[in-house]
Amino acid sequence: MSDSNSGQIDNVMQEDRLFPPAASFSEKAVIKSMDDYQQLYDRVKADPEAYWEAEAKSELHWFEPFDSVLQKDGIDVRWFDGGKTNICYNCIDRNIDAGHGDQDAIIWEGEPGDTRTLTYNQLHHEVCKFANVLKGLGVGQGDVVSIYMPMTPEIAIAMLACVRIGAIHSVIFAGFSAEAIADRNNDASAKVQLTADGLWRRGKIIPLKQTVDAALEKSPTVEHCIVLKRVENDCDMTNGRDHWWHDLTSEASDDCPATPLDSEATSFILYTSGSTGKPKGIRHTTAGYNLWAKKTFQWVFDWRPDDIYWCTADCGWITGHSYIVYGPLAAGATMLMYEGAPNFPAEDRFWDLVEKYKVSILYTAPTAIRAFVKWGDQHIDKHDLSSLRLLGTVGEGINPDTWIWYHEKIGGGRCPIVDTWWQTETGGIMMSPLPGAIPTKPGSCTKPLPGVVPKIVDESLEPVGVNQGGMLCIAEPWPGMLRGIWGDEERFKEQYWSTVPGCYLTGDNARLDDDGYYWIMGRIDDVINVSGHRLSTIEVESAMVSHPNVAECAAVGRPHDIKGQAIAVFITLKDVEASDAIRDELKLHVRKEIGALAVPDDIRFCEAVPKTRSGKIMRRLLRDIAAGREAAGDTSTLEDFSVLAKLRGDED
């Protein structure tokens, strides 16, 4: 975790470039200057309850008013207790009530080029029908609905229909394997599964229903499966269990009033990697989450009514939840949603979409930006990107040079970049430039949003000095914070609240510079970030070891130009010699166990995996080795790390 004895992390990054917002941008911005930001930040910090009370009253619809703003009993935090509201109502009905029913909510384009647009009225119609479909299958308040679907408007409709009736959705990224779906379904006791006959990815059909069929064999709690027809792909339909989406919705009524729900009712769970390999269902609730998603969307994206906003994430991740569905819709935005790959039919697809729909705000991931850099400027030069006024990034740190490229090539030098730091657990953005107010520094997420009180401490829990890295914690509750890990309160306490008393432990390291800017330095633990997706080493290792010829496995991340990190695994074999054939077989095995995301780029065979005396794998050593020898070279070489391990000493 740390290179020095004090537990602090050395700062090795020097970045002095500063980009103040253009005066023309600041004039029209929601928050116009550093002074405005600082005043708001200080006001919220001094009296958070007064601030959030007023915001909750003005920004959300209440079926019943709340009795208290914030109640805190140890790690049990309740926002707006006693009140009743509904996220779906706030995202749709409230905008219709305000006269925006005919405004476009979702402009969608499929990978093959087909398009659909849904106004707020049309979205209301579709969501109500589908909510009635769910009710018709016996889904009620507190039941879990598992969603494994393509990025079509129906995934948003499904999520909104769940929260409309108080059902809890668990969206599983449509690239995960049957095993991963079954694990999550079982952990959540999911009652209904939603999927599709397939999805389009780089011109090919990915048969989702087949994967779901395998998952449902091992998901005994799932009673029904609803299948959307997206690609006209044949699929087996099990009588009594499986139903076509269009059959059920064609008969459903569109009259479905939103259920008034407790502020603290669970709205959704979203699984994320943990260090033990068991998937961790992050639990979010209703009023606080809704308010946080909406406010942060308005602040960070400086949203204005004529914007066309595009977040390129997938609804399978938290970014899709908060900044495709709940934040933008609660704010009454018009958004673009795209189904497919950025390089289909060619590497200019994103820029084609920006030009075609006159996108003004683009929110994407550093891994995508690195791919664009690699694919070459000729794909960008073909298109008119002058509609863009603001750019954002999320998911991992962005290298300053990539930031500069994004700023100049995509933003034409005129668009501020919001580098947004946050997590599945935080529900919404925690640190980010406010684009009209805070000058940016490439690679820094700059400042905490109002209501966020960060603290950086070393291993002895002492605050670190300026420019020294340490563990990033959040010292005060905020409305969007996670409320638990589904079915595992002990783990919730242990993982987030026990290391630094009274503070939420983010699991990231960070440093504060001379100007009070924050720089995220990566995970404290060993999670590997492939293309912006967090995978835990232990999940990859466990999948490997489940192969009969694998005795032991250590997985680490190594730098990768496009993906950010690639997975390198070190394996000791049993009953078989090292060969290309076994390497290929292991890759296939991981693909089956976890999904394509987790397939290692490097598989190296070794006599023994180096360990500390207490039995922990020496990942730091392996990381150095994985990074230093990019070409894996001879596949049959068995490496012996024992000498190296002895040289480095134990790392307990």
Q: Which residues bind ligand PRX (CB under 6 A)?
A: 272, 318-319, 394-397, 419-424, 445, 506-508, 520, 523, 534
Least Cβ distance, residue 15 to ligand PRX (angstroms)? 14
Least Cβ distance, residue 510 to ligand PRX (angstroms)? 9
Tokens of 608: 């023994």
State yes or no: cis peptide before 400, omega within 30 of 0. no
Closer Cβ to ligand PRX, 429 or 622, answer by number:
429
Interacting residues of 571 by C-beta distance below 8 A, sequence separation 6+: 544, 550, 551, 552, 553, 586, 603, 604, 605, 606
Instruction: Check: CB of residue 91 under 8 Å from CB of residue 291.
Output: no
Where is 280: in which H helix or E strand? strand 280-284
Q: How far is CA 629 from the centre of its chain?
A: 31
Instruction: Check: CB of residue 419 under 8 Å from CB of residue 440.
Output: yes
Least Cβ distance, residue 4 to ligand PRX (angstroms)? 21
Closer Cβ to ligand PRX, 185 or 322, answer by number:
322
Closer Cβ to ligand PRX, 219 or 322, answer by number:
322
CA pair distance 109, 168, nearest whole angstrom: 27
| Side chain identity, residue 433 | P
Closer Cβ to ligand PRX, 288 or 480, answer by number:
480
CA pair distance 396, 296, nearest whole angstrom: 18
Closer Cβ to ligand PRX, 85 or 424, answer by number:
424
For residue 235, the tally of other CB atoms under 10 A from its CB is 19
End-to-end CA distance of the chain: 11
Tokens of 472: 């990033």
Least Cβ distance, residue 509 to ligand PRX (angstroms)? 9
Closer Cβ to ligand PRX, 318 or 622, answer by number:
318
Alpha-carbon separation of residue 69 from 77, 82, 150, 299, 353 (angstroms): 10, 9, 38, 21, 42
Closer Cβ to ligand PRX, 395 or 442, answer by number:
395
Least Cβ distance, residue 230 to ligand PRX (angstroms)? 26
For residue 602, the tally of other CB atoms under 10 A from its CB is 17
Q: What angle do CA 531, 526, 549 make, to 5 degrees?
A: 90
Tokens of 107: 């402009």
Instruction: Check: CB of residue 151 under 8 Å from CB of residue 336.
Output: no
Closer Cβ to ligand PRX, 198 or 433, answer by number:
433
- Three-state SS letters, 167-182: CEEEECCCCECHHHHH
> Which of 448, 491, 462 has its CA nearest to residue 7?
462
Least Cβ distance, residue 318 to ligand PRX (angstroms)? 5
Least Cβ distance, residue 294 to ligand PRX (angstroms)? 17
Instruction: Check: CB of residue 362 under 8 Å from CB of residue 410.
Output: yes
Least Cβ distance, residue 105 to ligand PRX (angstroms)? 23
Instruction: Please count the residues of the chain.
Output: 652
Q: Closest residue to ligand PRX, Cβ-based?
A: 424
Closer Cβ to ligand PRX, 198 or 428, answer by number:
428
Least Cβ distance, residue 605 to ligand PRX (angstroms)? 30
> Which of 30, 10, 8 has its CA nearest to residue 21?
30
Interacting residues of 12 by C-beta distance below 8 A, sequence separation 6+: none
Least Cβ distance, residue 604 to ligand PRX (angstroms)? 26
Least Cβ distance, residue 520 to ligand PRX (angstroms)? 4
Least Cβ distance, residue 535 to ligand PRX (angstroms)? 10
The partner residues of 454 in beta bridges, in order of sequence, read: 474
Least Cβ distance, residue 389 to ligand PRX (angstroms)? 20
Closer Cβ to ligand PRX, 198 or 480, answer by number:
480
CA pair distance 19, 133, nearest whole angstrom: 51
CA pair distance 508, 466, nearest whole angstrom: 17
Least Cβ distance, residue 451 to ligand PRX (angstroms)? 17
Interacting residues of 295 by C-beta distance below 8 A, sequence separation 6+: 55, 59, 428
Least Cβ distance, residue 323 to ligand PRX (angstroms)? 9
Residue by residue, DSSP assigns 346-384 as STTHHHHHHHHHT--EEEE-HHHHHHHHHH-THHHHTS-
Closer Cβ to ligand PRX, 292 or 421, answer by number:
421
Alpha-carbon separation of residue 191 from 67, 147, 211, 253 (angstroms): 33, 11, 18, 22
Closer Cβ to ligand PRX, 396 or 539, answer by number:
396
Least Cβ distance, residue 227 to ligand PRX (angstroms)? 28
Closer Cβ to ligand PRX, 110 or 327, answer by number:
327
State yes or no: cis peptide before 463, omega within 30 of 0. no
Closer Cβ to ligand PRX, 242 or 396, answer by number:
396
- Cβ burial of 255 (10 Å; 0-12, 13-18, 19+) is exposed
CA pair distance 295, 307, nearest whole angstrom: 16
